[in-house]
Amino acid sequence: MKREQWKDLWSLLLLLFGSIFMIAPFIWTISTSLKDRRNVFEIPPQWIPDPITFSNYERVWLESPLLYGFMNSLIIVVIVLTVGMLVSAMAAYAFGKFEFPYKGVLFLGLLGTMMIPYSVVMIPQYIGFSRLDWVDTLLPLIVPGLFGNIVVIFFIRQYLQSALPTELIEAAKIDGCSFPGIFFKIALPTMKPALAAQAALGFMGIWNDFLGPLIYLHTPEKQTIQVLIASMQAMYIGQSDYPMIMAAAVIAMLPVIVVFFFCQRYFIESMAISGIKG
């Protein structure tokens, strides 16, 4: 066997081992959610439950406010992604294709905010939101995200450098297209792959956020799904009711999995366009 074939074989085996290592906990979570509580710690472990029961999913909906958590997380995600992505796209277009005074300084200032850890601003933010009487509401988790995300701005700005020629914008200006028209008719459709990829990543980040909701949300009916699952762990782990906790975890994972599979082609498309034109 040639040296290149050995390298391909070892690469394949390494990737296969990594895939099994990564997917095994996910499969075990699904398996446990379909078991009876008495069968969780069987030796040897059963990957395929016998018998299979779906009662844990029914119990988790009936005995916990999981529906409230699901809806609260969905409200935050939809509002923040819809408005925040639009604002980020506008800012990225401005920094990428406009010339204005102190453009470089402003952009470096935005990038500099990425180096400030959340723990530094956590207490001042809480004091500010408490004075606004926003604590125990969804507003502290929604309003900051409406002003965009510097990571998204940076990524889309770099994407536009290669994906949107300046000549196309100049041609649109000559044809009488206004600045909003250029953005919504030319720039925004061009950003579609990059926006979809960043929206998927943003969805996963917001949906799985735990620290922010834990700080600001106290009433169970107003908490997000991740905080509710953590509360369920404290409630049911003493009863060794792991199947019910795993059922809640599977429900929480489903939207992330669905979004990833729908946006997967945009990940590839954004990388392909950047690679070809960059």
Place of tokens 């100049």: 170
pTM, entire model:
0.82
Pairwise CA distance, residues 203 & 81, whole Å: 7
Query: What are the structural domains of the chain?
Result: 59-277 (1.10.3720.10)
Amino acid at 179: F
Pairwise CA distance, residues 274 & 16, whole Å: 28
Place of tokens 């700080």: 215
Q: Is 53 helix (H, G, I), strand (E, B) or coil?
A: coil
Residue-by-residue pLDDT tens, the chain, 278 positions: 577 777 778 888 898 888 888 888 888 888 888 888 777 777 777 778 777 888 888 888 887 788 888 899 999 999 999 999 999 999 999 998 888 888 889 989 888 888 888 888 899 999 999 999 999 999 999 999 999 889 899 889 888 887 888 888 888 888 888 888 889 988 888 888 888 888 888 898 899 899 889 999 988 888 898 888 888 776 665 566 788 888 888 888 888 888 888 877 776 665 555 544 44
CB 140 within 8 A of CB 122: no
- Per residue, the 3-state secondary structure of 189-258, as one string, reads HHHHHHHHHHHHHHHHHHHCCCHHHHHHCCCHHHCCHHHHHHHHHHHHHHHCCHHHHHHHHHHHHHHHHH
Tokens of 94: 């401005």
Give the CA angle between residues 206, 210, 211 to the nearest 5°: 110
Residue 66: which residues within 8 A CB-CB, separation 6 or more? Answer: 60, 225, 228, 248, 251
Helix pair angle (242-277, 3-33), 10° resolution: 140
Pairwise CA distance, residues 259 & 202, whole Å: 11
Tokens of 211: 């620290």
Amino acid at 11: S
